[in-house]
Amino acid sequence: MRRLLVLISFIFGVGWCVWGAIDTAKHHAPGPVAHVHAKWENDCEACHVPYSPIKDNTWLTSQKSMQVLETKCQVCHRVGIHHPLQMSSETGSCASCHVDHRGREVDLNRTSDRSCTVCHAAIATHRKSDTSIATAPSPEISSITQFDDEHHPQFASLAVDPGRLKFSHGRHMLPGLSFGPLAFDENATDKPKDRVAISYGMLAEQDREKYQPKGSHSDEFVQLSCASCHEFVPSLPVGDIRAVSGLVASSPPGAYSLPVEFERHCAACHALPITGSDKPSASSLDTRGKDDIPHGLRAEAIRLYLEQTILQKAIQSDTTILDLKVPRSPLPSPQDQTIPDERLRTLISATVDASRTFVRGGCAKCHLVEDKELPFETSLLATDHPQKNSSSQSTWFSVGPVRVPAVWLRKAKFNHQVHRASDCRECHDAAYPNQIADIGGSLFPVGSPLDNQQVMIAGRHSCVRCHGPSKFDSATGTMIGGVRFDCVECHGYHGLGTHGLSSEAIESQSELFPAVRSHPIDDFLGSKKSLSDGSVPESFRSGSR
C-alpha cells in the first residue's frame, strides 16, 4: 500500500512538471495583456516578481510578497482604502480581482461578483469592531450576494428627501400648471387665487419661443415635460453649460441632468415683483424682469435692492424731495450734505416695510424662510439718521439652502444617456399627477405631493425588471431581464468610489466647477453698477442651491 502511494505521488509529480513545461504561457498567461498594459507585454518584471505568485489564493503567497507586488501596481495606480473598517489581513491582492492576460479588449475593472461577495455575503465577520466609527451593519445589508429583490438592500440614499424646496412635480406636469377644473374656467366666481391656468399667450415673447410648440395657439395652456427643466449636456448648445458640482462634472456627459436654475427654468411663469400681486397674469409675466427682484440674494442684498429701487421710484415721481435746505452757518462740506430728508425717509420706510413683507411671502411659497437681524447702520436709509451709529437692528429674512442632491445615488453610478430609450415615468412615476377626479364628466388631476414629502425615484424595484436574469413575466406575458446586473455595473471599490471622487467631495454640494452661465447675470464685484438695473454682484447671492 505504501509503495502504491509512493508510485501515485511520483506519477502525479512528474505529470505536473510535464504539464507545466508544455505550453507554459497557455497555463499561466492564456492570452495577451489588456491594451492598457500592452506597453509591458514583453517586460514581465514590470508586474511580476520571480517565484512569487501574483494572486493571493495560492499556498506560496505571503503578506510580504503581496506588498512587493502591489508596490509595482501602485507605481501607476494609487488607490485609497475601500472602507475605514476593512481588515487589512483580508484585503486581496490587486491581481485577485483584476485578472490580466485574458486578451487585449478585456476590461480589467470588470471584476467578478465573487470579489465582492466574498466579504459582503457575511460582512459582519469581515470588518473591524469600532463603535466610534460605525455601528453593526443592519440585517438588510449584512448579507448581499447578488442584485435582486431578495439579496440586495433598498438604496439607502433614497430613504429620505433632504431637500428643503416646496415644489410639486405633479402640478407642474399639468396643462396650465394648475389643479382642478376651476383653474380652466374663466367665468368661475369662486376660483382660488392660486389656481390660475397659464397659457402660452401669457408668457413673455422670449419665453414663448422656448416653451410653445410649433403649430400651437397662444390660448392653449402651457404643457411642460421632464426636459423643460431637466437638461443634459448633449442637449445644450456649445458654450451653454452651467456651473455644476464636482460630482456631476466627473461623470460622463449626459449621465446626470444639470442643476435647475430659477432664471432659466422658473422665471417664465414665476415673476418676482416687489409690490402688487404675485398672481400670474399676462401683464406680470410679459413684463417680468423689469421690476422683479433678482433671485438668490442674501438678506443684506434684499434690503439694499428694495431700498434703492423704491428710493429711485420716489425720486422719479417727485424730484422736489431732493431739495436741500441751505444752512445759514456754517457752510457744509460736500460730504456733510445728505440726500434724503425726514419726509423722504418716512415715505420710503413705509413702502420698504410693505415690500419686505410682500417679497418674503413670495419667497416662502417655495423656500424655507428664516428671520435675520440686520444692523440699522448698514441701511441705505440710515444716512443722517439719529440711529445711524447705534446698535439697533431690523428684522429681515434669509432663504436657507434648498439641499437638493446633484446626484441621488451616491454609492452607485447611473447614466441617463444610456437609459434614454426608457420612458421617464418608468423610474419617476411619483413625479406625475396621481389622483384623478371626475367633475362634470371631465377628468381632472386634483392632488400631488410636495417633493419634500416623497422621493421622486422609484428605487430598486424599477431596476431589477431589466437588470437581472432573463425570464418570463407571467403578469405581462413578456420576457424581462437580460441586462447586466453584476456588482461593478453600478458600484466602485477603491477610495475614490463609484464617481471618482472622495466621500467628502460627494457629500459636499457647495463646490462648483466654473463654467459659462446660461443666463445673463454679470458678476461686477467691485464695480459701481447700480443694483436697480437687475444685475447683482455674485457676493450678494445666497449660494443656496
Q: What is the pLDDT of residues 239-249, one digit of tens each?
A: 666 667 777 77
User: Which pLDDT score is estimated for 543?
Assistant: 47
Average pLDDT over residues 460-486: 91
Regarding whether 382 and 359 lie in a shared domain, the answer is yes
Regarding whether 20 and 4 lie in a shared domain, the answer is yes
Helix, strand counts (H, E) of the chain: 13, 8
Out of 138, 172, 205, a domain closes at 138
SS3 call for 31: coil
Task: Tell whether 474 is covered by a domain.
Answer: no
Regarding whether 399 and 303 lie in a shared domain, the answer is yes
User: For residue 484, what are the CA distances in angstroms to 96, 253, 466, 474, 481?
Assistant: 22, 21, 8, 22, 9
Out of 122, 138, 154, a domain closes at 138
Domain count for the chain, please give it: 3
Regarding whether 310 and 378 lie in a shared domain, the answer is yes
Task: Tell whether 152 is covered by a domain.
Answer: no
Q: Structural domain of residue 18, as residue ranges?
A: 1-28
Q: Which of 114-118, 329-333, 448-452 has the lowest mean pLDDT?
A: 329-333
User: Which pLDDT score is estimated for 506?
Assistant: 56
Regarding whether 527 and 399 lie in a shared domain, the answer is yes
Task: Tell whether 318 is covered by a domain.
Answer: yes
Cα gap 416→161, rounded to integer Å: 20
Task: Tell whether 254 is covered by a domain.
Answer: no
Regarding whether 48 and 21 lie in a shared domain, the answer is no
Task: Tell whether 40 is covered by a domain.
Answer: yes
User: Which pLDDT score is estimated for 367?
Assistant: 94
Out of 82, 103, 138, a domain closes at 138
Regarding whether 21 and 47 lie in a shared domain, the answer is no
Q: What is the mean pLDDT of the chain?
A: 76
Regarding whether 114 and 60 lie in a shared domain, the answer is yes
Query: Which has more pLDDT, 45 or 328?
Result: 45
- Asked if the model's pLDDT at residue 343 lies above 80, the reply is no
Tens-digit pLDDT profile for residues 435-454: 554 444 454 555 566 777 78
Query: Which has more pLDDT, 407 or 51?
Result: 407
Task: Tell whether 177 is covered by a domain.
Answer: no
Query: Which has more pLDDT, 433 or 331?
Result: 433
DSSP-derived letter for residue 293 is P
Cα gap 433→171, rounded to integer Å: 7
- Asked if the model's pLDDT at residue 340 lies above 90, the reply is no
Regarding whether 396 and 306 lie in a shared domain, the answer is yes
Regarding whether 9 and 73 lie in a shared domain, the answer is no
- Asked if the model's pLDDT at residue 419 lies above 90, the reply is yes
CA atoms within 13 A on the CB side of 457: 17
Tens-digit pLDDT profile for residues 301-313: 999 999 889 888 8
Regarding whether 55 and 5 lie in a shared domain, the answer is no
Q: Which of 84-98, 162-176, 260-274, 488-502 has the lowest mean pLDDT?
A: 488-502
- Asked if the model's pLDDT at residue 400 lies above 80, the reply is yes
- Asked if the model's pLDDT at residue 420 lies above 60, the reply is yes
Task: Tell whether 395 is covered by a domain.
Answer: yes
Regarding whether 66 and 4 lie in a shared domain, the answer is no
Give pTM, 2 decimals. 0.75
User: Which pLDDT score is estimated for 482?
Assistant: 93
